[in-house]
Structure 1
Amino acid sequence: MVNLVPTGKRHSTSDGSAARRCFDVNTKLAAVYEGKTYETAVGVSDIEIEHIEDIPPCPAECSETPHAYGQDDVIVFDLETTGLGTTSSIVQIAALHVSSGQHLNLFVKPKCGYIPTTASNITGLEFHGGVLYQHCKEVTSVAASEALLAFKRWLEAFGSHILLVAHNVMFDARLLVAKYQEEGITVPETIGFADSLRLFRTVYPGRQNYRLGSLVHDIAGVDFGAHDASEDVYALSSILQLQTNLDKLSNYATTVSSVKFKLQELNNEKLYKGSYTSFVGSKIISKAQATRLSRSGISIEHLKKVYSRSGLDGMQAVLKDRGAGKFYTKLASALDAVFSENKINLN
């Protein structure tokens, strides 16, 4: 086992915005019954989504406001991975507690069992015969579950409120939370995530690009080995500590709950967006509508079931609720024409 708990101590809401309204499928939709079609006298405003079988609830967006973090709460972190999706494996975790200078660097055996050549060309990490190499030199590596636990314990040693900062943080945050969920390890809700990319776009406006290497070269006058997580955290820390950048990070923070919400939306999109392919191709549904509907947790098959039980008015209510956009009535009419022509009957 690795012993990575640092020594020393450290010290350690406002009202959030209203969460997006989601209907509870177990308690709403009184006007819709199994096998009953809609009545033309019933308007969309009179229908509540109440009991449609097999219609998943949409993800509940968290209204929690991020904690007001101080400089002692800031930990810069970075992940190197086998790819760009949330199913990719983590192969390196690095972190730096800015105020104390305590540093963590973990190499991780890819859970998928390999590192694609495209990723190796960027990170210099290769995995052969159960051994991880960095620039052709063997490095000590641990299993993903062990690395994630070690990282969690390292973070916990700094107190209850921690602000994890990364450049384009949502990529790292989503992957990190997804991997903790995959391993069944609880992610402390007191952790926040802050995006230095958004911060620097405000602090240093008008630049041609905001890549970390370019920022560090131009602002701190330093060149470093990009795509080595350990080098990246030191480089990012060097410009975060300039001016009053650390004090502004809370303005660009999000919560663990918000990251989980985004993950659920992305998982829903993977599950359901493909069901809209022919409708998008026929220009009945726009790509944006298909994305919003799938992220909310419904497929075209779900809409067919709604239609078979409550007709046009019920389908309009669902489309409006699930964020189909201001043209939801037009979309409902287009689907009505298709479904009625095909004599949809799922009862």
Structure 2
Amino acid sequence: MNKRRSASAGPAPLPLRNGVAPSRVHLPPGPWVRLLDFLLERFEHVPPDILRARLARGDIVDDAGLPQTLDSPYQPLRWLWYYREVPAEAPVPFDLPVLFRDDRLVVVDKPHFLASIPGGRYLRETALTRLRAALDLPLLSPIHRLDRDTAGVLLFCADPESRGAYQTLFQSRAVRKEYEAIAPLRADLGLPLVYRSRMQARAGHFTMQETPGVANSETFIELIEVIAAAAPGPRDDACGDAKQACDAAPEGGLGRYRLRPHTGRKHQLRVHMSALGLPIRNDSFYPELQPYAGSDDFSRPLQLLARAIEFTDPYSGRPRRFESRRRLCAGGAV
């Protein structure tokens, strides 16, 4: 069951539950006699027995918090509230340290494999849900997002009235973002460089592709360190204290790159690096989508890190810079 947003919806009659906010669905005018008839049609992907069981338990309530039942009549132009359920959600075994907190901002160092916000297969194992529960901040909301596969600096707003000013910074490109990535070396590629291309979503797919036309994405890319020579070895010093042995370096070796995106297209850094023949280490999307194994291999995170975010605070006028404390490893964990 998915949420539908509307400005006319009132406050939620249900509280946070273990950091999870209630979802809602609007009831439009229609021919349904019973509420169950509408729910069966609206959520056709949900097994009917599950919908009936939720109504029987009183898990779905109206704006006044009154539980709906199997015999409830259909009453249009109102909202129903419920807690979304995700079966068999695997825990992400990494911490989510808070780098900074005041009355407006909460800045965290997100690990790989943890989604920024609830969606799809992820509900409790998300940064937003964890923080709402751990910090007792039911109104906490994201200012921007990181891909689930990407680790690093992530900003949230603790004051709903202040969120818009911070989001405007991102929308107006007044935020300077710096990433690190581990990828193959290319001796024939002149770095540093600025890479531009036109990106759009693949039809019927969640990945992105480059297409002809005016560029709508731009990234500055530079090599900052050679971390693995072409000759393979059993372990790379870049792994530091990581317990897993690193994979052997590919032919040509591995490098650490600094990436500064000027735009913020979905998967932009992954697409741009792949297009240059520098696919980011452990990327299962680019250049080719790898089949999902049914579970995450936590020993092989995508080697992409949101290293730092810098901007001028819209309230204090002071410069802000937040840096991740994580390190990338050429083969294993951060």
Q: Do they fold alike, i.e. is TM over 0.5? A: no
TM-score range, shorter chain: under 0.3
Greater fraction strand? 2
- With a CA cutoff of 8 Å and minimum separation of 6, indicate the structure with the bigger relative contact order: 1
Structure 1 length normalisation: TM-score?
0.19
> Which is richer in helix?
1
Larger Rg: 1
